[in-house]
Amino acid sequence: MNREILSLNNVNRAFVTRKSLFGKTKLVINAVNQVDLIVNKGQTVGIVGESGCGKSTLARMIVLLDQPTEGSILFQGKELSSIEKKEMKQFRSKVQFVFQDPLSSLNPRKTIRQILETPLRHLTDMTKQERADRVDELMTLVNLRPEFLERYPHQFSGGQSQRIGIARSIAANPEMIVLDEPVSALDVSVQAQVLNLLRELKERLNLTYIFISHDLAVVENVCDVVAVMYLGRIVEYGPRKKLFANPRHPYTHILLSSVPVPGKQEEDRPGLKGEPPSPSAMPPGCPFEPRCPHGVDRCKKEKPILDNVDADPRAACFFPL
Amino acid sequence: MSEQLTIETHSKKKAGKTYGLSSWQRLRRNHLTVVGLGIVSLFCLISLLAPLLPLPDPDATNLAQRLLPPLSPGHFLGTDQLGRDMLSRLIWGTRVSLSVGIIATLIASVVGSLFGIIAGYYGGRLDNLLMRSIDMLMAFPYMLLALAIVAALGPGLMNALFAIAIVNIPFFARNVRGVAVSQARSDYIEAARLNGQSDSNILFTELLPNVMPVIIITISTTVGWMILETAGLSFLGLGAQPPQADLGSMLGEGRKMIITAPHEATLPGLVILILVIGINLLGDGLRDVLDPRLKSGTLVRPKARTAVDPALEAKPEEKQITAGNKESVLRVNELRTYFNMGNEIYKAVNNVSFNLIPGESLGIVGESGSGKSVTALSLMGLVATPPGIIKSGSICYNGKNLVGASLETLQKLRGNRITYVFQDPLTTLNPLLTVGDQIAETLKRHQTCSGRKIKDRMIELLKQVQIPNAEDRAKAYPHELSGGMRQRVGIAMALANDPEIIIADEPTTALDVTIQAQVLGLINNLRKERGLSLLFITHDFGVVSEVCDRVMVMYAGKVVEAGTAQAVINSPLHPYTRRLIDCVPRLGKPDKVIHAIKGLAPAVNDLPEGCAFADRCDYARAECQQQQITITETEPGRSVRCIRVSKGEI
């Protein structure tokens, strides 16, 4: 069962912006920094982190909406940057994406039928009749009535729009779907509907998910393996249960204790001092050091990498908890 | 499958009603546009029918009958200096001018839009190259460029047409590019790429339909201008050549006779005037209908105070009558706030009552559309009018009824005794003023003291909300601060005048969890230190546990359950409250099965007769849908709106 479907090796993505008018001073922002990750078939891998941690940039690189400036991404053993135009269709049909904002990801001037037919027309060799049948089938899969097909996106609520976005992503029978904050724009009761739908589809269609989210409770609920990102790096990585029960990186620990839980009034949570440093002026050592309660001199000078001890999860910290 | 059904019925209703007015209906409501449409259609019809109308040859000269005044026999509008029939020439001339104007516009729109859409979609170097060449075209004075082109190509109607089309390309290119740039970065274009669509396919099937309104708006506003320019070139003798009639050349010829035969110049001038006015009126109307900004009504300036039903408008002597409850700083009674949109009434807040005790923190929990924010905004009359109106109820603050109170009374309280903290401070802070100045302004508005004192107080406030380097940060603009820092500034502004009540509307929803924890801690400490009353709006029961003493749960504009935070969260009595708590994954319970609530909340313009939650409720029975369910007190301080409670079943 442990078949590797996706692997990221030392992936970096740097954005260069010019600050002055004539482009003299260059500002380099390392949105994603030395990321290694392996995804096995059938898994749901969660990537969590706060805004600006690079999780969305990572997601975009996995689906080839963006390219790493360094490192390689392999999907089914094939290096993404070497995919030629002819093979693109095949890749696109195997790896799909679901957007955070369901409404803005649907073209406001197309009917739902047109929206769902587009991937079928471009990614499959279906005939017109086959496409029409598949569109009906997709609507049933995501629990929407086929009558909705002739309507426009603005006539749907957020939850329904996200179902349509999910239907589009599964249209061409993908093997892996990258979900970028798929439920964070939705109301909580609708969020649960969509999460359950995703779970159901995964089992029925044998999918692999990469689930990007800032909501730790949601990630804990749906993922098998979790990677915690901070300022472009994976700081902790491991199986969900162990990571959530016994986090080893101080950042994960604080992150988890910051989540308010109904019925609990936390009087003295460890709390995180300050705000993350600007991504353009990163500390030379551990990126978390300026805010870390346990930081020592060594953390200021050296960058810790993910350790590899027997005790899962793996943490990028010199003094894991 | 029952889930499907409820979703279906709901959307059908929504689709039918909210989008009631079609573009055509909205166009027709504007009388000036209808006038413009009438003028333009009349001109177009006459021009089209010109060959069929019983008109004399417009080019046939008859020197014996030259310069006849209007209303002469046989020549209704008289003749010109060569004895040609004016009416015939005017009609044929309008036909020429109109078609030249329209064809030039079409050429300019196709070429210009193509430039704009390609530049906007690809961006980068291509964008620079295309748009800089457009800029070069714009660098020449407009008419001069047209003259130069005609001079190069030689005079003639076709050459004038090309000249005018070329001169107008930049307008289309710039307008279209602006929209294309923003559209090209939107998610649906990315989605199209993921669908495997090629660039040209995305350009023409995804992007073009979305920039079409801009193209149409630009066309409608340029046609009139193009006709004027054609007339201008013809007037100078560079456009239509004799004997061909066109409005501009007729004006030019008539000018020489202005003393002896004034009608010869006046008539074509009048025709140009009326035609262009008609086109512009129609164009403006079209723009109003198609422009999304105008459509959403953002240009309608809301009143400074929410409208109040006339029956509630307070007379001065009545203001004091409502006796204040000593134990409450704010008592809201049977508040109803509606939105009147077209023929629909949205009952956003539908009979809400609550009581805020000094020093307590009351949470309002609900999903979007439950009326929690509108309730909060109604308190200080901040609901936008139009379309909002307070239909009934009272809001008692220290014995004074604020419903129907004058704007002056409210303004004395706003930002002073009762203050707000909003979800995203980036949208509530003024981007052009430093945060320090904005806090100082709040202070100046309500206090009379020296500038020095105000500045000290401002720095002190920034320190109280734990902003590091307060002196420096005071000089920062809102966009220079992080989300957490901005929210601290928002809180500092709310605290500035030592208020009695702070109303916080999802103040931490936009923040990261670690920052949320910091801000919640800050709010808690400040509230306890100062003994403030807090009205805290949220959708997150975790946050409620953190900051609220009591909580009320809202659904479809009504309070369905209220009680102490602990009691409501640990033993919810209303089925909705229970489901709302249960449908959220909870940290530390990885194997919890999340039970979604089936279907959607009803639209508040189409509420059912009985309980609004009935068709999503597991315990619903026939009587739930037959009557209004009253809210019942189960024990002091705890009340529930459910038939099973009111009948004593649970």
Cβ atoms of B258 and B265 closer than 8 Å: yes
Confidence of residue B318 (pLDDT cuts 50, 70, 90): very low
- Longest distance between any two alpha carbons in chain A, whole Å: 68
Range list of β-strands (E), chain A: 4-18, 26-40, 44-48, 70-75, 78-79, 95-98, 176-180, 208-213, 225-230, 233-239, 314-315
Q: Token pair of A50, please? A: 């706060």
Closest-CA distance of chain A to residue B352, Å: 22
The confidence score (pLDDT) of residue B17 equals 36
Which residues 28-57 of chain B have a CB within 8 Å of chain A? none
Residue in B closest to A241 by C-alpha: B590
Higher pLDDT, B314 or B628: B628
The confidence score (pLDDT) of residue B322 equals 46
**CA distances (Å), A33 to each of A228, A300, B263, B314, B414, in order?**
13, 18, 80, 64, 48
Residue in A closest to B581 by C-alpha: A262
Q: Token pair of B218, please? A: 């630009």
Q: Do A192 and B594 touch (CB under 8 A)?
A: yes
Show the CA angle centred on residue B365, arms to residues B326 and B647, nearest 5°.
80
**Can you tell me the mean pLDDT for A293-299?**
86
Q: Which residues of B touch A51 (CB under 8 A)?
A: 483, 512
* pLDDT one-digit tens code per residue, A72-131: 999 999 999 999 888 999 999 999 999 999 889 999 999 999 999 999 999 999 999 999
CA nearest B481: which of B415, B429, B423? B429
Of all helices (H) and strands (E), which one includes residue B306? none
Q: Out of B545, B590, B596, whose CB is closest to A196?
A: B596
Look at residue B418 and give its three-state secondary structure: strand
Q: Do A258 and B590 touch (CB under 8 A)?
A: no
* pLDDT one-digit tens code per residue, B635-647: 888 999 999 888 8
Q: Out of A93, A108, A244, whose CB is closest to B590?
A: A244
Q: Do B191 and A105 touch (CB under 8 A)?
A: yes
Bridge partner list, B79: B85
The confidence score (pLDDT) of residue B288 equals 79
The confidence score (pLDDT) of residue B319 equals 47
Q: Which residues of B touch A92 (CB under 8 A)?
A: 194-196
**Can you tell me the mean pLDDT for B302-315?**
78
Q: Out of A155, A258, A260, whose CB is closest to B15?
A: A155
* Alpha-helix residue ranges (DSSP H) falling in A41-111: 55-62, 85-94
Mean pLDDT value across chain A? 89
Residue in B closest to A222 by C-alpha: B590
Cα B514 to chain centroid, rounded:
33
CA dist., res. B161 & res. B156, Å (int): 9
Cβ atoms of A262 and B586 closer than 8 Å: yes
Cβ atoms of B512 and A251 closer than 8 Å: no
Q: Do B600 and A50 touch (CB under 8 A)?
A: no
Q: Does A211 touch chain B (CB under 8 A)?
A: no
Q: Does A272 touch chain B (CB under 8 A)?
A: yes
Residue in B closest to A251 by C-alpha: B514
Query: Which residue of B554, B587, B589, B615 to mutate against A (max A Cβ within 10 Å)?
Result: B587
> A280 pLDDT exceeds 80?
no
The confidence score (pLDDT) of residue A311 equals 66
**CA distances (Å), A83 to each of A75, A93, A101, B328, in order?**
10, 13, 29, 69
Cα B618 to chain centroid, rounded:
39
Look at residue A200 and give its three-state secondary structure: helix
Q: Does A75 touch chain B (CB under 8 A)?
A: no
Residue in B closest to A263 by C-alpha: B545
Q: Does A256 touch chain B (CB under 8 A)?
A: yes
Query: How many C-beta neighbours within 10 Å does residue A127 have?
Result: 9
Q: Do B188 and A156 touch (CB under 8 A)?
A: no
**Can you tell me the mean pLDDT for B502-506?**
93
The confidence score (pLDDT) of residue B297 equals 54
Q: Do B187 and A101 touch (CB under 8 A)?
A: yes
Burial of A83 from C-beta contacts in 10 A (0-12 / 13-18 / 19+): middle
Q: Does A85 touch chain B (CB under 8 A)?
A: no
> B569 pLDDT exceeds 60?
yes
> B4 pLDDT exceeds 60?
no
Mean pLDDT value across chain B? 86
Name the one residue in this structure whose structure tokens are 């005939």.
A127
Q: Does B368 touch chain A (CB under 8 A)?
A: yes
Q: Does A65 touch chain B (CB under 8 A)?
A: yes
Which residue type sits at A181? E
Q: Do B7 and A216 touch (CB under 8 A)?
A: no
Burial of A104 from C-beta contacts in 10 A (0-12 / 13-18 / 19+): middle
Closest-CA distance of chain A to residue B371, Å: 14
Query: Who contacts B257 (Cβ-Cβ below 8 Å, separation ≥6)?
Result: B67, B80, B81, B264, B265
Which residues 450-489 of chain B have a CB within 8 Å of chain A? 468, 482-485
Query: Who contacts A258 (Cβ-Cβ below 8 Å, separation ≥6)?
Result: A269, A271, A272, B513, B514, B516, B517
- Which of A233-242, B389-398, B460-469 tops mean pLDDT? A233-242
Cβ atoms of A306 and A315 closer than 8 Å: yes
Q: Does A152 touch chain B (CB under 8 A)?
A: no
Confidence of residue B14 (pLDDT cuts 50, 70, 90): very low
Q: Which residues of A touch B597 (CB under 8 A)?
A: 189, 192-193
**CA distances (Å), A103 to each of A270, B140, B395, in order?**
38, 43, 37
Q: Does A56 touch chain B (CB under 8 A)?
A: no
**CA distances (Å), A179 to each of A12, A222, B228, B615, in order?**
20, 12, 55, 31
Closest-CA distance of chain B to residue A224, Å: 10
The confidence score (pLDDT) of residue B2 equals 38
Q: Which residues of B touch A217 (CB under 8 A)?
A: 584-587
Residue in A closest to B20 by C-alpha: A155
Tally C-beta pairs within 8 A across A and B.
200
CA nearest B245: which of B43, B91, B66? B91
> B320 pLDDT exceeds 50?
no
Residue in A closest to B480 by C-alpha: A278
Closest-CA distance of chain A to residue B508, Å: 12
Closest-CA distance of chain A to residue B587, Å: 4
- The percentage of chain B sitting over the pLDDT mark of 70, rounded to a whole number, equals 93
- Which of A286-300, B139-153, B538-552 tops mean pLDDT? B538-552
Q: Token pair of B530, please? A: 């100062």
Q: Does B15 touch chain A (CB under 8 A)?
A: yes
Q: Out of A154, A220, A262, whose CB is closest to B545?
A: A262
Confidence of residue B75 (pLDDT cuts 50, 70, 90): confident
Query: Who contacts B629 (Cβ-Cβ below 8 Å, separation ≥6)?
Result: B610, B611, B641, B642, B643, B646
Confidence of residue B21 (pLDDT cuts 50, 70, 90): low
Helices then strands, counting H and E runs in chain B, come out as 25, 13
Q: Which residues of A touch B586 (CB under 8 A)?
A: 217, 261-262
Q: Out of B4, B187, B513, whose CB is closest to A255?
A: B513
Confidence of residue B67 (pLDDT cuts 50, 70, 90): confident
CA dist., res. B310 & res. B391, Å (int): 9
* Alpha-helix residue ranges (DSSP H) falling in B307-450: 372-379, 407-413, 425-428, 435-446
Show the CA angle centred on residue B259, arms to residues B258 and B263, nearest 5°.
50
**Can you tell me the mean pLDDT for B613-634?**
88
* pLDDT one-digit tens code per residue, A12-33: 999 887 655 565 667 788 899 9
Q: Out of B485, B541, B583, whose CB is closest to A189?
A: B583
The confidence score (pLDDT) of residue B10 equals 41
CA dist., res. B76 & res. B65, Å (int): 13
ipTM for the complex shown: 0.90
Residue in A closest to B208 by C-alpha: A109
Query: Which residue of A51, A55, A142, A221 to mutate against B (max B Cβ within 10 Å)?
Result: A221
Q: Token pair of B474, please? A: 């005071």
Sheet-wide strand order for A176-180: A95-98, A176-180, A208-213, A44-48, A225-230, A233-239, A314-315
Q: Out of A145, A192, A244, whose CB is closest to B4?
A: A145
**Can you tell me the mean pLDDT for A278-285?**
78
CA dist., res. B530 & res. B557, Å (int): 32
A23-32, A243-252, B70-79, B453-462: range with lowest mean pLDDT: A23-32
The confidence score (pLDDT) of residue B548 equals 94
| All structural domains of chain B | 43-54+71-295 (1.10.3720.10), 419-496 (no CATH)
> A148 pLDDT exceeds 60?
yes
Q: Does B185 touch chain A (CB under 8 A)?
A: no
- Longest distance between any two alpha carbons in chain B, whole Å: 107
DSSP B594: P
* pLDDT one-digit tens code per residue, B38-61: 999 999 999 999 999 888 888 888
Q: Does B11 touch chain A (CB under 8 A)?
A: yes
Residue in A closest to B467 by C-alpha: A274
* pLDDT one-digit tens code per residue, B453-488: 899 999 999 998 888 888 888 999 998 888 888 999
Q: Does B209 touch chain A (CB under 8 A)?
A: yes
Q: Out of B197, B368, B483, whose CB is closest to A118?
A: B197
CA dist., res. A213 & res. B170, Å (int): 44
* pLDDT one-digit tens code per residue, B523-554: 998 898 989 999 999 999 999 999 999 999 99
Bridge partner list, A35: A11
Q: Which residues of B touch A88 (CB under 8 A)?
A: 196
Query: Who contacts B146 (Cβ-Cβ below 8 Å, separation ≥6)?
Result: B160, B163, B164, B166, B167, B229, B233
